[in-house]
Amino acid sequence: MPMKVAGPLGVCLLLAVVTVPAAQAQRARDEPRGKPGVFDYYVLSLSWSPQYCAGPAGSRDRIQCAGGKQFGFVVHGLWPQYERGWPQYCSSEPGPDQSVIDKTIPIMPSAALIRHEWKKHGTCSGAAASQYFEKIRQAYAKVKIPEEYRAPLKNVMVAPGKLKQRFLEANRIADAAAVAVVCSGRFLQEVRVCLDRNLNVRGCGRGVNDTCRDREIILQPVR
């Protein structure tokens, strides 16, 4: 029996079936939850900039990815966290002014990301924007990047466990649960370090885990 071709109405109904649940899921992810200042600890998320710059968004980002910048690990965010889960979009507190952005750009080289991180995560910190981004700069300064991973000029192949161990050693961290290595396929995406509210290293709560599945992962070179 020949297969019938759906008419315009059928196509519209099919699109509705696909897009409505996706839109609902996106709204659920973006819903405000939590109260400012009510959280258990922070996650300092350090992105491997060359991985971002190798993608479609990075190819259009002249601030972070233009040749010669040589960004390695940069700040993705400092996220207030619960022992299980996290708060987000906690208030409409005013965001960072240009002077705060200018101070933060050297370690978080995207004004758009800075504003987004404030709205989603910074508003849950209980601090004003200037204080929150000062805390980000303090947290970044406390974490030592192992020398061999600061600005490699060619691909680095490494076991994810060894990369994690080098971060533990460089920062004299005894608790392996305080650091999580996150990958996108075979490529390093982020290293996350868990800190208490005074920015001292502590073990991560549930949901902050290593995600790399390959025996060796790749750190793309700085640009």
pLDDT the model gives residue 11: 45
Among residues 139, 161, 171, 143, the alpha carbon closest in space to that of 216 is found at 161
| pLDDT given for residue 4 in this prediction | 52
Type of residue at 187: F
> Residue 18's pLDDT is what?
45
Q: In the structure, what pLDDT confidence band is assigned to residue 21 with cuts at 50, 70 and 90?
A: low
Return the active site residues.
Answer: 76, 117, 121
- The Cα 195–Cα 73 span in angstroms is 17
Mean pLDDT within 137-145: 98
Task: Please spell the DSSP secondary structure of 8-22, one letter per residue.
Answer: HHHHHHHHHHHHHHH
What pLDDT sits at residue 193? 99
User: How far is residue 82's CA from residue 102's CA, in Å, rounded to a whole number?
Assistant: 30
Q: Which pLDDT score is estimated for 8?
A: 57
- Residue closest to 41 by CA, chosen among 182, 210, 204, 208: 204
Better pLDDT: 23 or 136: 136
Q: How far apart are CA 126 and CA 197, in angstroms?
A: 11
Q: Does the pLDDT at position 103 exceed 90? A: yes
Give the tokens for residue 90: 């906690």
Q: Is 33 helix (H, G, I), strand (E, B) or coil?
A: strand
What phi and psi, each to the nearest 5 degrees, are found at residue 160? -60, -35
Q: Please name the helix (run of DSSP H) or strand (run of DSSP E) that holds residue 171, with its range, or none.
A: none
Would you give the DSSP letter of residue 126?
Answer: T
Q: What's the Cα-to-Cα distance from 36 to each of 59, 206, 209, 214, rounded to whole Å?
A: 36, 21, 25, 38
Provide, rounded to the nearest whole percent, the portion of the chain with pLDDT above 90. 81
For the chain, the structural domain boundaries read 34-219
Full-model pTM: 0.87
Q: Cβ contacts of residue 21 below 8 Å, gap of 6+?
A: none
From the list 32, 44, 29, 47, the residue with the least C-alpha distance to 80 is 44
Q: What is the pLDDT of residues 48-72, one digit of tens each?
A: 999 999 999 898 898 999 878 899 9
Token pair in block for residue 124? 């849950």
Q: Is 34-219 a CATH 3.10.180.10 domain?
A: no
Note the pLDDT of residue 138. 99
**Counting every residue, how long is the chain?**
223
